[in-house]
C-alpha cells in the first residue's frame, strides 16, 4: 500500500468524520444503566430470597456507605449506581474527546499521509461528502 500527502480538504473531511462524544449524554445513559442495573440486581435477589440473600452484592456497602441488600438499599443502590455510572460515562467521553483532539492535532507518525486504496478513496463519488445521507454540512 502506498501513501500520499493529505490535502487540506482530506484533513477537513477526516476531522468532520471523527465523532465527538457528548459528555452529558454519555453521563445520562451510563447513569441510567448503572442505577437501574444495581436496583434490578438488588430487587432480583430480594425476590429470590434464600438463607444468605445477596452476601456478595452486599459487599458494595464497603464502597457505597449505607447500601445493603434490602428494599431501602435498592433505592439507595439506584442512586449510587446512577452516580457512579454518570461519573464513568462523563469521564469516558472526556477522555475520548481529548484523545481524538490530540490525534487530529498531532503532526508526527504519518499524520499528514493517507493510505491509498482505502474504502473511502475507492467508494462511489459523493460518498466522502456525506455518504449519501443528504447534503454535506
How confident is the model over 87-137, as pLDDT tens digits? Answer: 999 999 999 999 988 887 774 444 455 555 545 544 445 544 444 444 554
Contact by Cβ (8 Å): 104, 15: yes
Residue 130 CB contacts under 8 Å (≥ 6 apart), including other chains: 136
pTM of the model: 0.68
Query: What pLDDT, on the 0 to 100 scale, is given for residue 82?
Result: 98
Give, for 115, the enclosing helix (H) or strand (E): strand 113-115
Give me 69's grid cell: 441488600
Amino acid at each position: 500500500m502506498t501513501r500520499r500527502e493529505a490535502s487540506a480538504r482530506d484533513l477537513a473531511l477526516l476531522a468532520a468524520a471523527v465523532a465527538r462524544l457528548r459528555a452529558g449524554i454519555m453521563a445520562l445513559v451510563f447513569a441510567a444503566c448503572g442505577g437501574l442495573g444495581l436496583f434490578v440486581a438488588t430487587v432480583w435477589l430480594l425476590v429470590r430470597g434464600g438463607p444468605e440473600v445477596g452476601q456478595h452484592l452486599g459487599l458494595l456497602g464497603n464502597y457505597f456507605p449505607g447500601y445493603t441488600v434490602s428494599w431501602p438499599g435498592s433505592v439507595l443502590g439506584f442512586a449510587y449506581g446512577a452516580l457512579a455510572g454518570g461519573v464513568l460515562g462523563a469521564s469516558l467521553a472526556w477522555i475520548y474527546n481529548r484523545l481524538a483532539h490530540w490525534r487530529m492535532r498531532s503532526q508526527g507518525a504519518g499524520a499528514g499521509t493517507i493510505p491509498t486504496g482505502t474504502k473511502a478513496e475507492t467508494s462511489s463519488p459523493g460518498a466522502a461528502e456525506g455518504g449519501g445521507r443528504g447534503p454535506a454540512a
